[in-house]
Amino acid sequence: MKTLRLGSSLFKTAIASLTLGMATTAAHAGEVYANLGLPGLMLGYAQAINPMFSVRGDFATLGNYEKDKTESGIDYKAKLAFNRLGLFGDYFPFSGGFRLTGGLTMNNQKIELTSTAQAGTLMTVGDRTFVVAPDDRLYVQIKMPSTTPYIGLGWGHQQADKGLGFIADLGATLGKAKLDVQATGTNLGNRALVTQADIDKETQQLRDGVGKITFIPQISLGMNYRF
């Protein structure tokens, strides 16, 4: 009888341990989520560690597209690319979904400008005005750093029962854009006609305009599904 009672006790302990383990696993189940806003469409996965912390990663994109743009009196064809991967940690200081977020983003975020002035027309670069030759081109690239920190706040991704939920984010990826300017062609590449001082002045004018990018905002809403 003593052996039977001992076996029964061990069996109950094993069942209790298994039940606790399953409950713990369920409590820390993951989630998939989708956001829409800035910086575009986001798809990701989050994993709650405990009621106060979760970790997650997502991919965000605005895609690649082209548009005509004028900067400092020069017409350009602009190509824009915006894609990023993010790794984040969420801290929930209160009971509920409000959180503080920090993390890193790996970026492919850039704007490339190519001047589109037609041959025979006038272009002004710096202090120099000249007649455009067929091969004259001004190339400008504005690019965010490849890795940048992220800080923000939001709602959602907390440890909770399975099912649908609401998520929101307000934050910023921090980083100063790098500006690069190249001038090529019969006239633009001739430093006797368009001097380096002219190129430098045009570069500074661009930097004072579209080059003043020090952060990329995130303002997004979405849904998650916990399983």
Give tens-digit pLDDT for 58-67: 999 998 889 9
Q: pTM for the complete prediction?
A: 0.78
Asked whether 77 and 113 are in contact (CB, 8 A), the reply is yes
- Where residue 46 falls among pLDDT bands split at 50, 70, 90? very high
Report H helices in 53-211. 196-208
pLDDT of residue 24: 43
Average pLDDT, stretch 58-79?
A: 89
212 DSSP 8-state letter = -
- If pLDDT is split at 50, 70 and 90, which confidence band does 28 have? low
Give the range among 84-93, 148-157, 209-218 with minimum mean pLDDT: 209-218
Produce one character per residue of 147-178: b if its CB has 16 or more CB atoms within 10 Å, e if not. Answer: ebebebebbbbbbbeeeebebbbebbbebebe
Average pLDDT of the chain to the nearest whole number:
86
What mean pLDDT do residues 8-33 have? Answer: 51
Structural domains of the chain in order of their starting residue, each with its CATH number? 30-226 (2.40.160)
CA–CA gap between residue 115 and residue 137 (Å, rounded): 6
H or E element, residue 26: helix 2-27
User: What's residue 1's pLDDT?
Assistant: 46
